[in-house]
Every structure is written in C-alpha cells, then in structure tokens.
C-alpha cells in the first residue's frame, strides 16, 4: 500500500463496536459539526432553500419554497430550472470542461475503456437531444430507455432532461413483457435500446427483447446503440442506429426551461400488487436532494472518483451514478459487466486501476465477494479508497466488518444509506465527517429531514422498540410526487396508514443510541433480492399464469448471499404431477415473464395453502415455516389443519 494515499479516516471507540471520523476526516469533510442537525431542524425549509440556491443554477427563482396539500407536496414552486444544464453546461461555462465526467469500463478486458470529459459529454448530450427532437420528441413526451451500462445510457437520460422529455428507464435484464407493461403505462413515444451487451464473456441480445417489448405500445421510433455487433433485425421506418442519427445531428441544443414541479422521470418499482407502479419524480426538488446528498454523504471533492455499482435501471443508478455526481461536477465511473468476470477480483482491479475513492454498492455483492475469499482483494492496492457505501437492504455485522477491514483496510468509514425509489435520494445515514459508523445501523436523519418510529396508533416509540418507519413533515424535496396515473394507489400505499400526517415507508425500524436508526426490513410483501426490489405478488402472478398452476403464494426466504430469495408454495391443477421437471419449468417460466432476477429459488408443491376465513393467504405462516420461527396464532385460519401438513413438507422444526 502506498502510504501517502492510505489515510486513516476513522477511529474505533475503545469500548464499543463503533467508529468515529478521525480528525483528518473531520477536516476534509464538507460537514463535521453536529450543530448542522440542530440548525436544519429549526427551519428545514430554509435549509433546503439555502442549498437549492447555492448548489444549483435556476433560470428563475421560486416564489414559494414548499407547499403541502395532503397528500401532495411541492417544492420550489414556480422556480424554473433544467437538469441537464445543471449537470453539464454550467461546469463547462465555468471552465471545467476538461474534467473527466465519466469513466466507462467495458466488461471484456480487451476492449478499451472510455474516459469522457464534461466538454465531450456536453457535446454528445446536445447532439442526442437534437436527435430526439428530429424524431418528433417534444417537451412532456415520455422516452423509454432499455440499455445496458454503457455511456449512451447517461447520454440518453441527460438528453431527455435537456428537452424536457421525461425518461422511463427499464432494467435491461427485465423481460420483454415487463418492458411492455412499463412502456404502455408511461405512454412512451420512443425507445432507446442496444443490439446487445456483454455478460460474463458472452454477447447477449437485447434487440429481440426490445422488439417484443414495443409491440402494441405507442412507441413510434426505436433508437439502437451498436454495442456487440450482433446481427439484429431493424424495422424499416421505425428503427434507427444511434451512431447514424448522431452523425447528422446538429451540434447545439438549448436546454428547455422547466418548471420545478415538471416531471423529470418515471421509474417503475414493485409494490404489493402484481402491477408495478410508476414513481413520479419532478425536477427542482429531486435535483436539490440528489446534489446535496451526493456531496455530503460521499464527501465528494474535486479529485474524487465516484463508483456506484448500481444499474441505471434502479433509482440508485439514477441518483448516484448519474444526476448526483454530474450536478457536483464529479467524476463518475460505471462498469458494464458482471462483478466476478473474468475473475473474483474484477471490482478491486477497477478500484486500483482508476484510483476509485468512493465505492458504493449493495450488501449482496459484499457478501458474494467475501465468500469468494480474502485472497482476491489482497492482490490489490485499495489505498485510494476513502469512503465505502452500502444500500438496498440491511447489512449484517459480518459483511460490514469484512467490508471495513478487507476492502477499506480498517481506514474508511462505511456509510450505510437508507432510502427508497420513492425518496429519490438517501435520507438516513451517518455523514462521514460526523459518524457514528456502527455495523447494522444505518445512521441519522439527513439534515433537513426527520424520521420516526411509530406504533400502529401513531405513537412515537422509545429507543430499542421496533415499529414502522415514517417520515415527518416537511417532506424531503426529492420525495415522489405521486404514482403515475394512479393517485389512489399513492394515497393508499404511503399516506393512509397515518391519515396523511406522515409518509409511511413500509419499513420496520428501531431507534438506537446516538440518535441513529436501525432498519429492520419491509413490513409489506416486497422482497429485496440481491438488492433488487421485487414484489411477492408479481412473482405469484407470473407463476399463476403457468397452465399447470392453480394457485401459489410467494414468500421471501433468507439467503446467505442474496439476502432474500423468493420461494413459491404452489398448488397444481387437477391431473398435473409435481416433479423436478415441473419445478424447473415453472421457474424458467417466471424468468421469461419477469426476467432472470425474479426467478423463485425453489417451488414447494402443496395441496392447500393456509387461509383466513376471508380467504386471504397467511404468508406470515408460510414464511415462518421456512425459518423455523414461531408460527403464531393459527386458530383464526379457515383450514388450520393445513399447517400440520405444511410443517411436514417443509421440515419445520420450530423455534429453538
Ligand atoms: C431497503 C433502494 C436497510 C428498504 C435505494 C427500502 C435498506 C427498500 C437500505 C427500497 C439500507 C434500502 N438498510 N434496508 N441502507 N436501503 N433498503 O426502492 O427495505 O429499490 O424500503 O431503493 O430497500 O428499495 P428501492
């Protein structure tokens, strides 16, 4: 390890398993004084106004900072702003055009990486914005993006925001059907996709899936990035090559003046029903939160190389690979491929080669790499690292300590950032310059926000008691503004539990010492599988569509690497035989309907499911059967005897 790089950023409390920032980190941090919390709490709206004004360029300042008309909030009312201008133009105008904006690392090690400066990114985004315009995309039109992790993904997002055309990014591993549902709901006019991408050394086709996905939608034009050179079918009049359109595109494109509350993007996420919901994010508030949280949580400075490993198909990819870093004129790194390709040291090799300073990933990846053995990170000089981040699910103590010691060399703070697609940016974490860093504890409220742990009646719980995590007013600027075309679902999911007073996160949590919050897990039927959000209902719907299936119930089962995996209890139709082949067939059927990341780990064939008298499946029991937990009261069931049979099938041992 090179000593001049390897600073000691944290110190351990001598008594407890708690770390605090070192004096050196306090000095280097944007914020290191606890008083920031008090200051922000006194007037949260003024706090956010201050940072919106200092951190972003507005075409016109807002006339009113915040409005709450339950359950709808607005921020920076009548303010005018453009996202792409704030990510690009202003940095170039300030003479920072030479700075590296994006480092792109392709999966095949023999391919050249791309290092793109702010000036170059600015040029490409303007050109592509003109491409979209030339295809008739106007302000307010929705654009679908179905791309792998290649520079064009960011270019497309920024070009959309430049012309005020909201994007709706769909994870490239999602199935054609998942794409189709999202394109339909968003009423997308254009789809941007690629011929394919590289995954574990193989070229995978994407265009066929895209073709299937646009069928029956309002998509009039499809733009195709050439990435693999795979032979693809181009539909005359509808499909266009990205590179050909770019050749003819005009160089300059003025950014559209957008209202602060204009739609910036839709992002579909899983809820408790089979249908994904289009989470609405608007412009001014989202950008403010993306800007400030990226800057403070990762303590981003000019010499940082920020690597968030999330795919753009997820909110983390939106806020912390794209908007947040660019708003801060930072250098962001994205990687195209699998984390263990060609070998288990790929991530560490990238960290070493590009002097990555901030590494932000999900616990599932940390666990997978930990399992792979210490010899892989040990081969590399990781002394450039300054901050480690985690997101997406609770992280267990062992993974946390491994991350701290083996990756961070015991020198770097771990910021465990809690947030959701709905919150736009992270809201609970420990700030690097303040701490504390405690395994399994996310941390404190980001300044200007407040979360509480409540019981069912809405009483604030004491430290240590588990309850529902809620956000208190004023609600953070980056919060969702609704569920697209479904205000009832918005109201019901987030606001009905506490009468429009608090935002219900659907997470369980408890307060711990040092004013921190420890996240329990979801209280609803949403799973976090390998850091990816997945609803049990979506998987059930997919299984139930298999012709041999009568009914099914999906529950999460704890998994060593992925955190949770879906397990399906399934009843077959009369005359169908349960067998290993049938199990395989149903699992692969789910892969086709939803995509490979949604496949159940196994199917348990049963004759009956435990149901309440009103016919509701008791998933709680199904879950406890897999974890040998207390089954609880089963007397209210319509068919309590079914549980005995299930105990046998699952090999239930009971607690202890
Ligand atoms: C979970 C991801 C524990 C939580 C940004 C939340 C976490 C859901 C953490 C949202 C964390 C996210 N600790 N749990 N640090 N971060 N979660 O919408 O259950 O994909 O409700 O957003 O992930 O998942 P989503």
Phi, psi of 482, deg, nearest 5: 160, 180
Contact by Cβ (8 Å): 256, 163: yes
Ligand 1 pocket test, candidate residues 367, 426, 507, most atoms within 8 A of CB: 507
User: Is the C-beta atom of 526 inside 6 A of ligand 1?
Assistant: no
Interval 15-43 mean pLDDT: 97
Euclidean distance between the first and the last CA atom of the chain, given in angstroms as a whole number: 46
User: Is the C-beta atom of 361 inside 6 A of ligand 1?
Assistant: no
Contact by Cβ (8 Å): 467, 508: yes
Residue 4 pLDDT class (50, 70, 90 cuts): low
Q: What gap in Å lies between CA 421 and CA 171, rounded to an integer?
A: 14
Three-state SS for 167?
A: strand
CA of 277 to the centre of ligand 1 (A): 16
Residue nearest to atom 11 of ligand 1 (CA): 418
User: Is the C-beta atom of 533 inside 6 A of ligand 1?
Assistant: yes
Q: What gap in Å lies between CA 59 and CA 23, rounded to an integer?
A: 40
The pLDDT of residue 102 is above 90: yes
pLDDT single digits (tens) 303-351: 999 999 999 999 999 999 999 999 999 999 999 999 999 999 999 999 9
User: Is the C-beta atom of 564 inside 6 A of ligand 1?
Assistant: no
pLDDT single digits (tens) 122-174: 999 999 999 999 999 999 999 999 999 999 999 999 999 999 999 999 999 99
Residue nearest to atom 20 of ligand 1 (CA): 533
Tell me the pLDDT of the chain averaged across its residues: 96
Peptide bond into 474 cis (omega under 30): yes
Residue 3 pLDDT class (50, 70, 90 cuts): low
The structural domains of the chain, ordered by start, are: 10-81+265-522 (3.40.50.12780), 113-256 (3.40.50.980), 546-650 (3.30.300.30)
The pLDDT of residue 1 is above 50: no
Residue-wise DSSP of 251-294? S--PPPPEETTSEEEEEEE--SSSS-EEEEEESHHHHHHHHHHH
Which of 200-203's residues contact partners 24+ apart within 8 Å by CB, and which partners?
A: 200/107, 200/337, 200/338, 200/341, 201/107, 201/108, 201/341, 201/342, 203/228, 203/230
CA-closest candidate to residue 529, choices 567, 568, 564: 564
Ligand 1 pocket test, candidate residues 360, 418, 446, 516, most atoms within 8 A of CB: 418
The pLDDT of residue 584 is above 80: yes
Q: What gap in Å lies between CA 605 and CA 246, rounded to an integer?
A: 53
pLDDT single digits (tens) 105-115: 999 999 999 99
Contact by Cβ (8 Å): 44, 468: no
Strand residue runs (E) in 407-484: 414-417, 428-429, 444-445, 451-454, 467-471, 482-483
Pull the structure tokens for residue 415. Answer: 């910021």
Interval 30-46 mean pLDDT: 98
Residue 267 pLDDT class (50, 70, 90 cuts): very high
CA of 228 to the centre of ligand 1 (A): 33
Interval 63-88 mean pLDDT: 98
Q: Which residues contact 362 (CB under 8 A, 6 or more apart)?
A: 309, 310, 390, 391, 392, 393, 530, 531
The pLDDT of residue 656 is above 90: no
Q: What gap in Å lies between CA 190 and CA 217, rounded to an integer?
A: 10
Residue with tokens 């609704």, as numbered in its chain: 482
Contact by Cβ (8 Å): 594, 538: yes
Residue nearest to atom 15 of ligand 1 (CA): 418
Measured from the Cβ of residue 17, the count of other Cβ atoms closer than 10 Å reads 13
* DSSP 8-state symbol, 636: T
Contact by Cβ (8 Å): 5, 383: yes
Q: What gap in Å lies between CA 170 and CA 225, rounded to an integer?
A: 16
pLDDT single digits (tens) 499-551: 999 999 999 999 999 999 999 989 998 999 998 999 999 999 999 999 999 99
Residue nearest to atom 13 of ligand 1 (CA): 394
- pTM (predicted TM-score): 0.95
Higher pLDDT, 6 or 213: 213
pLDDT single digits (tens) 190-214: 999 999 999 999 999 999 999 999 9
Higher pLDDT, 3 or 68: 68
């Amino acid at each position: 390890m090179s000593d001049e790089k390897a600073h000691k950023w944290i110190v351990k409390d001598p008594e407890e398993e708690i770390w605090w920032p070192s004096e050196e980190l306090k000095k280097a941090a944007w914020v290191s004084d606890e008083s920031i919390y008090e200051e922000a709490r006194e007037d949260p709206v003024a706090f956010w106004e201050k940072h919106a004004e200092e951190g972003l360029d507005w075409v016109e300042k807002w006339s009113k900072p915040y409005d709450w008309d339950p359950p709808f909030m607005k921020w920076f009312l009548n303010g005018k702003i453009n996202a792409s201008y704030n990510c690009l133009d202003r940095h170039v105008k300030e003479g920072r055009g030479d700075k590296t904006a994006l480092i792109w690392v392709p999966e095949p090690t023999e391919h050249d990486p791309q290092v793109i400066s702010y000036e170059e990114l600015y040029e490409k985004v303007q050109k592509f914005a003109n491409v979209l315009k030339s295809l008739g995309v106007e302000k307010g039109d929705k654009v679908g993006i179905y791309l792998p992790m290649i520079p064009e993904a960011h270019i497309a997002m920024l070009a959309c925001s430049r012309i005020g055309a909201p994007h709706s990014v769909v994870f490239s591993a999602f199935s054609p059907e998942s794409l189709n549902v999202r394109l339909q709901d968003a009423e997308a006019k254009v789809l941007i996709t690629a011929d394919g991408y590289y995954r574990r050394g193989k070229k995978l086709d994407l265009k066929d899936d895209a073709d299937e996905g646009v069928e029956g939608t309002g998509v009039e034009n499809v733009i195709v990035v050439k990435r693999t050179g795979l032979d693809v079918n181009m539909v005359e009049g509808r499909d266009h090559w990205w590179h050909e359109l770019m050749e003819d595109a005009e160089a300059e494109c003025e950014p559209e003046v957008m209202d602060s509350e204009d739609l910036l993007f839709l992002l579909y996420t899983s809820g408790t029903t089979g249908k994904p919901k289009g989470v609405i994010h608007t412009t001014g508030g989202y950008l403010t939160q993306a800007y400030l949280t990226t800057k403070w949580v990762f303590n981003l400075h000019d010499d940082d190389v920020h690597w968030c490993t999330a795919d753009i198909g997820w909110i983390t990819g939106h806020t912390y690979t794209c908007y947040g870093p660019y708003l801060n004129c930072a250098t962001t790194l994205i990687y195209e491929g699998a984390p263990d390709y060609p070998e288990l040291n790929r991530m560490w090799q990238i960290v070493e080669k590009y002097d990555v300073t901030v590494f932000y990933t999900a616990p599932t990846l940390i666990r997978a790499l930990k399992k792979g053995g210490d010899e892989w990170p040990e081969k590399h000089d990781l002394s450039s690292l300054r901050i480690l981040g985690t997101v997406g699910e609770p992280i267990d103590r062992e993974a946390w300590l491994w991350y701290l010691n083996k990756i961070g060399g015991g020198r770097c703070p771990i910021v465990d950032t809690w947030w959701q697609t709905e919150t736009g940016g992270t809201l609970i974490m420990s700030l690097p310059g303040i701490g504390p860093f405690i395994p399994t504890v996310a941390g404190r409220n980001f300044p200007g926000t407040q979360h509480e742990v409540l019981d069912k009646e809405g009483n604030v719980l004491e430290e240590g008691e588990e309850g529902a995590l809620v956000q208190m007013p004023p609600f953070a600027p980056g919060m969702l503004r609704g569920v697209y075309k479904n205000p009832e679902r918005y109201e019901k999911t987030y606001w009905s539990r506490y009468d429009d007073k608090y935002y219900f996160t659907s997470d369980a949590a408890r307060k711990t010492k040092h004013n921190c919050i420890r996240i329990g897990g979801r209280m609803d039927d949403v799973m976090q599988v390998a850091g990816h959000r997945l609803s049990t209902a979506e998987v059930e719907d997919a299984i139930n569509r298999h012709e041999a299936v009568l009914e099914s119930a999906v529950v999460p089962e704890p998994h060593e690497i992925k955190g949770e995996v879906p397990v399906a209890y399934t009843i077959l139709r009369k005359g169908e035989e349960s067998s290993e082949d049938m199990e395989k067939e149903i699992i692969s059927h789910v892969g086709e309907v939803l995509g490979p990341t949604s496949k159940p780990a196994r199917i348990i064939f049963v004759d009956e499911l435990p149901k309440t008298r009103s016919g509701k499946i008791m998933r709680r029991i199904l879950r406890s059967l897999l974890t040998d937990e207390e089954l609880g009261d089963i007397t209210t069931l319509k068919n309590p005897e079914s549980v005995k049979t299930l105990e046998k099938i699952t090999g239930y041992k009971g607690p202890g």
